[in-house]
Amino acid sequence: MEKNLNNHMKDAMEKNDFSGTVLVNDNKGTLVEKSYGYANRSEQLENNMTTRFGIASGCKLFTAIAICQLVEEGKLSFETKLQDCLSYDFPHFDRNITIHHLLTHSAGIPDYFDEELMDDFEELWIKTPMYLLRSLDAFLPLFQNQTMKFKVGERFHYNNAGYILLGLIVEQTSKLAFTEYVEEYIFKKAGMKHSGYFEFDSLPPNTALGYIDLPDGAWKTNLYSLPVKGGSDGGAYVSVLDMARLWDALKNEDLLSEEYTTKLLTPYIQTNPNYPNKFYGYGVWIEKRDEEVWKYHIMGYDPGVSFHSAYYPKNAINTVVCSNKSEGAYDIMRVIEEEIVVENE
């Protein structure tokens, strides 16, 4: 598998002009460890195994872990209602929304960036400059006075605003800033030394800039395309090695007990009626094959960011694909999965 995977990976990276870093490992060791392209094109600084990459919505998993930790400590429950754990006013929200609904994207609330209606993140910044969004509560005016999108629990609808609310719940419950909580109780516990929530205007060394390639062959960074600092709905930075450590910490129950790790990874809701084998747990996508879980995975896409990471329990394989381009991670992930499928046959 290792030889075939490396050969096919090289071809896919060259074909797609991939920029980023890839890690594939299992219980026996590393199967793939490759970096391509530049973390900084202007300075010709190459990506490497410890380069930090933005992962967009991939870090919703961190938010879900934080909530599960607070539930395990008895400070919250999954059935705690939104109105009982946040002091902010949401005049048009249903009073029966619970933490479970928010975690599973089934609360029915409006979103500040509705992926069913909007295509371009930059549409948001016409009214609200991205450089003002340095804290979670700064996002509230973008959605808190809007009406419900659908009835609570009616269906799955991917929702960034719901995870903003979960981050605020973490803050009010723990008395820590959300990013401080994650760095202390998730990153440190998992040994994720290169990860964090960094501001665009003060990035640490060895952090990849996100690049948007233009039709005429020119490019620009994503500096003016995203909020200046990531939060509970997306925008953390990780290295591929750190992301693999996160999966290991979950499997080894270093972050949550067995009971709450199981709760995190339970397939609660079908994500699309056309795909009966695809589900969502708490902050994680889940795919079944032959009635068994085949893959736990997370992903994130923003201008200048594409990210996929997964754990395949049958093979005990971790995969992490980080890219500092708007596209590319999916194509590499598909090559990896094709080899895993062949290995299982």
Query: What does the pLDDT look like over 111-141, one tens digit per residue?
Result: 987 665 555 656 666 666 666 677 999 999 9
Helix (H, G, I), strand (E, B) or coil at 185: helix
| Average pLDDT value for residue range 14-28 | 93
Compute how many other C-beta atoms are within 10 angstroms of the C-beta atom of residue 180: 14
pLDDT of residue 341: 74
Looking at per-residue pLDDT, the higher value among 194 and 14 belongs to: 194
Whether the predicted pLDDT of 70 surpasses 90: yes
pLDDT value at position 127? 66
Q: Given CATH 3.40.710.10, say whether it is the number of domain 2-344.
A: yes
Strand partners, 53: 238
- As a whole number of Å, the CA-based R_g of the chain is 19
Q: What's the CA angle centered on 319, arms 51 and 57, to 5 degrees?
A: 70
- What is the rounded distance in angstroms from the CA atom of residue 126 to the CA atom of residue 128? 6
Smallest Cα–Cα separation from 222: which of 234, 208, 211?
211
pLDDT digits (tens, 9 = 90+) for 219-247: 999 988 888 899 999 999 999 999 999 99
Burial pattern 22-57, b for ≥16 Cβ within 10 A else e, equals: bbbbeeeeebbebbbbbbbeeeeeebeeebbbbbbb
Using one digit for the tens of pLDDT, what is the confidence trace for 198-218? Answer: 999 899 999 999 999 999 999
Task: Name the one residue in this structure whose structure tokens are 């062949």.
Answer: 342
**Which residue is associated with the tokens 């992962």?**
55
Give residue-wise pLDDT tens across range 306-332.
999 999 999 999 999 999 999 999 999
Question: Which pLDDT does position 344 carry in this prediction?
Answer: 62
Which pLDDT belongs to residue 128?
67
User: What percentage of the chain exceeds 70 in pLDDT?
Assistant: 93
Q: What is the pLDDT of residue 24?
A: 96
User: Which amino acid, residue 112?
Assistant: Y
**What is the pLDDT averaged over residues 73-88?**
97
Is the distance from CB of 304 to CB of 234 less than 8 angstroms? no
Nearest to 281 by CA among 253, 258, 301, 261: 261
Separation CA 29–CA 42 (nearest Å): 35
What pTM does this model have? 0.95
Question: Does residue 107 have a pLDDT over 70?
Answer: yes
Mean pLDDT of 291-303: 96
Runs of H (alpha helix) within the chain: 2-15, 60-72, 82-85, 99-103, 160-174, 178-182, 188-190, 240-251, 258-264, 329-344
